[in-house]
Chain A
Amino acid sequence: MLVTQNKRTGFKEGFVAGLPLVIGYLPIAVAFGILSKTIGISLRDCFLFSSVVFAGSSQFMALNLLSVGAGFGEIILTTLLVNFRHFLMSASLAARLTHDLKKYIPLIAFSLTDETFSVTSFRQEPITKAFLLPLHAVSYVAWVTGSVLGYWLGSFLPGILQDSMSGAIYAMFAALLIPMAKKSNTILMLALSSGLINALLTYLQILPKGWSMIFAIVLASGIGTYLIKEEEVTENA
């Protein structure tokens, strides 16, 4: 009885937790569809990029490199660099997964994004499949649908509507972080220091694209393990 009830509420929560991601993804996915059409790739390839690769920033980068005539090898290598931060996120999430999710690991790994990771990490309750699967499914469907919609009817959409939504992802990240930062200065310091390192490295442009973020995450988390006392961050254990 209790188990089925948990399952049902988990499912609904996972679905609802995915809604802000839909608002955040749609304009970016639509932009991807529009750009695909602009540089002249087929609708099939646009769909395959979004449904098979499912990696936002890397997809834009690939279109960009394709349009300047870059080779496939170069694009694939850049994709690896741009998306390697997910290695860290997967490792962090893997340490918290419950046993019932083992079967779904390939599916969960495939559909892990910055946004689903953030939403999942800040969940206080155990991470169940009833929560995780709808969350990932909703964001995947939004991304793929948005890409195709953009390809089809992007040119009819008022640009200003899309521009207004381009801050939505940041609003979501901020809304996730703030309640945690309110409770704990340590969390605020972890996030701020990582953001500042990333800003500095991005500004200096000394690392290849994508690596500033990886470096910032590793450095700030690493320093944290030395500076932060055991009991200070316990919510996430």
Chain B
Amino acid sequence: MRNLFPLILGMLAVTFIPRLLPFLLVSERKLPQRLNRFLSFIPYTALGALIIPGVFSATPQMPHASLIGIGFACAFAWLRGGIIIPVLGSVIVTFFMLISKFGLS
């Protein structure tokens, strides 16, 4: 295998710089109002794009296994809120869905 160190350094540069630059540009500066609103919408739009369409192929061998697990997370978050129980619950539901089909392998 090749020496991967130059690759790793290159990847560090192209992942770190885009994460760092906005902090240096935005901090302590008064932004135009429209830009500020644009930035304030990003948490919601980013979350939407992070969930869809990836959520439909989280367990490719049985897509509805993870979907039903996530369905539990959604229902619990809707009724009670919280993060840890929805996440743990979704893992448990998905686990039982998967062993019901494939057994413990």
Residues of A in contact with B (beta carbons under 8 Å apart): 16-17, 19-20, 23-24, 40-42, 45, 48-49, 52-55, 58, 62, 66, 72, 75-77, 79-80, 83-95, 97, 102, 105-106, 108-110, 112, 114, 117-119, 121-122, 158-161, 163-168, 170-180, 182, 187, 190-199, 202-203, 212-213, 216-217, 220-222, 224-225, 228, 233, 236-237
Alpha-carbon gap, A139 to B81, bound state (A): 22
The residues of B that contact A109 with a CB separation of less than 8 Å are 16, 19-20, 23
Q: A118-B50, A190-B45 are in contact. Are A110 and B19 (CB under 8 A)?
A: yes
| Neighbouring A residues of B25 by C-beta, 8 Å | 91, 94
Instruction: Point out the residues of chain B lying under 8 angstroms from A225, CB to CB.
Output: 34, 37-38, 41
Q: Is the interface of A mostly helix, strand, loop or mixed?
A: helix
Number of A-B contacts (CB under 8 A): 302
Contact between chains at A217 and B98 (CB < 8 Å)? no
A105-B20, A105-B24, A177-B47 given; A203·B53 CB < 8 A: yes
CA A16 to CA B84, docked complex, whole Å: 9
* A160 contact from B84, B88, B98, Cβ within 8 A: B98
The interface size of chain B toward A, counting residues with CB under 8 Å, comes to 78
- Kindly list chain B residues whose C-beta atoms are within 8 Å of the C-beta of A77: 14
In the complex with contacts A174-B73, A198-B53, A17-B83 CB distance below 8 A: yes
Shortest 3 CB-CB contacts between residues of A and residues of B = A195-B52, A167-B66, A191-B48
Partner of B91, one of A45, A164, A195, A197: A164
Enumerate chain B residues within 8 angstroms of A164, measured Cβ to Cβ.
Answer: 59, 65, 69, 91-92, 94-95, 98
Question: Beyond A79-B15, A233-B40, is A105–B23 a contact (Cβ under 8 Å)?
Answer: yes
Whether the pair B83, A170 counts as a contact (CB closer than 8 A) is: no
Instruction: Kindly report which residue of chain B lies nearest to residue A203, judged by CB atoms.
Output: B53
Contact between B51 and A165, CB atoms less than 8 A apart: no
- Check B40–A95 contact: CB distance below 8 A: yes
Q: Which residues of B contact A (CB under 8 A)?
A: 1, 4-16, 18-27, 31, 34, 36-55, 58-59, 61, 65-67, 69-70, 72-74, 76-78, 81-84, 86-92, 94-95, 98-99, 102, 104-105
The distance from the CB of A144 to the nearest CB of chain B, in whole angstroms, is 13
Point out the residue from A86, A110, A171 that lies within 8 Å of B90, measured CB to CB. Answer: A171
- A221 to B37 alpha-carbon distance, docked (Å): 8
Please give the distance in Å from A176's CB to the nearest CB on chain B: 7
A193-B48, A198-B52 in contact; A86/B70 too (CB < 8 A)?
no
Which residues of B lie under 8 Å from residue A88 when comparing CB positions?
A: 22, 42, 46
